[in-house]
Amino acid sequence: TMSHPAPLKLYGFGPSRSFRALWALEETGLAFEHIETVLRKDGSQANSAKHPSYLALNAQGKVPTLVDGNMILTESIAIVNYIARLAPESKLMPTSVSDLARYDELSCFVLAELEQPLWSKGKHLFALPEEQRVPAMLDTAKFEWAKAVRSLEALLDDTEFALGGHFSAIDILLAHTFNWAQRFEFDVPEKYIALRDRHFARPAAQRALASMA
């Protein structure tokens, strides 16, 4: 376990975006406490994301939230990046300017293009209040997903890892997003299912998956 003043606290829920942060923590060996936070409407339950004590950390009532002393972070990619910077020897984040530029490009692409239709489907299936849901959005999401997957082809080559010849946080983001896509019944090309399976076989990913079971 790496030395850091006090264990990090990760508030998260199962297969949500908090899995990215949990997996990154397992890859680094940093000491942390995982606090299961449920995304239910009832704010009276102590472990609910709607509970006042949680809303004081994350005003959106979403997961994940990372707490490190006085530092509170509530965006999954910012959390993954923070974890990577705390543990540079994990090589989850590159150090050269050119590799960092690619890292930024790929993480922005995952966030803005690849996961966007997945979250659109989630919102219009269950996350939004019923009167705000637009059923026709589901076909649009399918169209946008196919377009994003085609665009990804131009950003990735067929090497084992997305960046720099070794495992990085980009691989975490991609594997998690393709897993999410399969769960949400989007068409995921075979090679991206294979990518997900390959990275999920890593001991750190297996530990993260087991701790959510």
Each residue of 14-56: pLDDT tens digit? 878 999 999 999 999 999 999 988 876 677 788 888 888 888 9
Asked if the peptide bond before residue 64 counts as cis, ω within 30 degrees of 0, the response is yes
Is the dihedral angle over the CA atoms 134, 136, 138, 140 positive or is it negative? negative
- The pLDDT of residue 39 is 77
Please check the confidence at residue 1 and state whether its pLDDT lies above 60. no
Residue 45 token pair: 């339950």
Residue 207 token pair: 């530990």
Each residue of 51-108: pLDDT tens digit? 888 889 888 988 899 999 999 999 999 999 999 999 999 999 999 999 999 999 999 9
- The pLDDT of residue 213 is 67
99, 168 Cβ separation under 8 angstroms: no
Looking at residues 131-147, what average pLDDT do you find? 97
> Residue 3 — very low, low, confident or very high, per pLDDT cuts 50/70/90?
low
Each residue of 185-203: pLDDT tens digit? 999 999 999 999 999 999 9
Give the closest residue to 176 by CA, choosing from 37, 17, 24: 17
Tell me the pLDDT of the chain averaged across its residues.
93
Burial class (CB in 10 A: 0-12, 13-18, 19+), 50: middle
Each residue of 148-171: pLDDT tens digit? 999 999 999 889 999 989 999 999
Looking at residues 107-115, what average pLDDT do you find? 97
Question: How would you classify the pairing of strands 71-73 and 65-68?
Answer: antiparallel
- The pLDDT of residue 41 is 64
